[in-house]
Amino acid sequence: MKRIILIIALFYFWPVQAQSIGDIDYGMYDSVVRLDGNIYRIRRIPEGDFEILRRRHEEKCRSLIRTVTGLGNIQRALGSKYRVLFAEDQYGYERLYEISKGDQMVIYFPEDEGGEWTYYPEHKILGYYGGHESDQAVNLATGETAEKPVAVSPNRVFLLSGMHDGQDYMEYTISRWNSETNSYVRLVSVTEIFKQVKNSMERLGYPGYVFHTFWVGNKLYFTAGSGKYSSITVPWP
C-alpha cells in the first residue's frame, strides 16, 4: 500500500519538480530569426512564469560577475604590469588620467568623464560614466571599446553585456564563449534580433527598454516594456 502511495505521489509531483530546477519549456516559439548563420528562437512568456524564473536566476547571473571599485583597488587588481595614474580632485572625487601597460600601451581618459569606476577582472574591462551619465567601457588588454558585462549564464557559456547611451536607450550584446580563442565572441545585439521580428514593438516591446535580463541554460529572459516578457534561445557552441 505504501509503495502505491509513493508511486502516486511521485507521479503527482514529477512535473512540478522538473519545472522548478530551471527552464520552462513551452515547446513552440513565436519567431525564429537567422543572423550570420545562427538561429535565434524568440518566445513570449506569461508574467507569472517570468517572475518565478526571475526570482531564481536573475541575482545568480549578476553575482557571477566579479567587480572591483575604487581606483586604488583597481590598481591592486591589475597588478604591477599596469600603472593607474589618478588623483582625488578638490571635491574628493577620483579623477583618472591614464592607465598604462608598460611600454606596450597607454590609455588616456578625458578630463570631463569619469565616476563610478568599475573593473571586471575576468573580462579585463573597465567601465565608467561618460557624458549624460552614459556608460563607457574599455578593454584594458587591447585598448578597444568594450561593453559592461550585465549577466553571465551559470555555465559561463553566454554573456550579455550592455551600455546605456545616456539618453533613453540601453543596447545589449549577446556573446558566446569560444574555447579556441579563450574569450567571449560577439554573436548579435538584442536590437538586431528585434529588427528581424515582425511587429516587434507590439509583440516584444521596445529594444531600448530591455530590463531584468537573466540566463537559464541557453535562454536569455528579459522584459521590454509593460507586460512584455520574452526569451531568446541562443544556439549552443
Query: By CB under 8 A, is residue 110 in contact with another protein?
Result: yes
Query: By CB under 8 A, is residue 143 in contact with another protein?
Result: yes
> d(Cα 228, Cα 222) in Å, to the nearest integer?
8
Least Å distance between CB 21 and another protein?
44
Q: Which of 104, 167 has the CB closer to another protein?
A: 104
Contact range with another protein by CB under 8 A, out of 76-84, 96-104, 146-154, 193-201? 96-104
Query: DSSP for 47-82?
Result: HHHHHHHHHHHHHHHHHTS--EESHHHHHHHH-TTE
Residues 6+ apart with CB under 8 A from 186: 173, 174, 175
Least Å distance between CB 138 and another protein?
6
Judge whether 115 and 93 are in contact, CB under 8 Å.
yes
The one among 13, 14, 26, 108 contacting another protein by CB under 8 A: 108
Supply the DSSP symbol for 145: B
The position carrying cell 535562454 is 219
Query: By CB under 8 A, is residue 85 in contact with another protein?
Result: yes
The one among 113, 122, 171, 192 contacting another protein by CB under 8 A: 113
With H, G, I as helix, E, B as strand and everything else as coil, classify residue 194.
Answer: helix
> d(Cα 140, Cα 109) in Å, to the nearest integer?
12
Q: Which of 25, 133 has the CB closer to another protein?
A: 133
* Residue 193 grid cell: 534580433
Q: Which of 40, 109 has the CB closer to another protein?
A: 109
Query: By CB under 8 A, is residue 103 in contact with another protein?
Result: yes
Q: Which of 61, 78 has the CB closer to another protein?
A: 78
* Residue 185 grid cell: 565572441
The one among 50, 109, 194, 222 contacting another protein by CB under 8 A: 109
Least Å distance between CB 45 and another protein?
36
Least Å distance between CB 188 and another protein?
21
Contact range with another protein by CB under 8 A, out of 100-108, 180-188, 210-218, 222-230? 100-108
CA-to-CA separations, 202 to 46, 194, 197, 228, in angstroms, rounded? 15, 11, 10, 9
Least Å distance between CB 102 and another protein?
9
> d(Cα 64, Cα 152) in Å, to the nearest integer?
7
The residues binding another protein (CB under 8 A) are: 85, 90-91, 97-98, 103-111, 113, 136, 138, 143
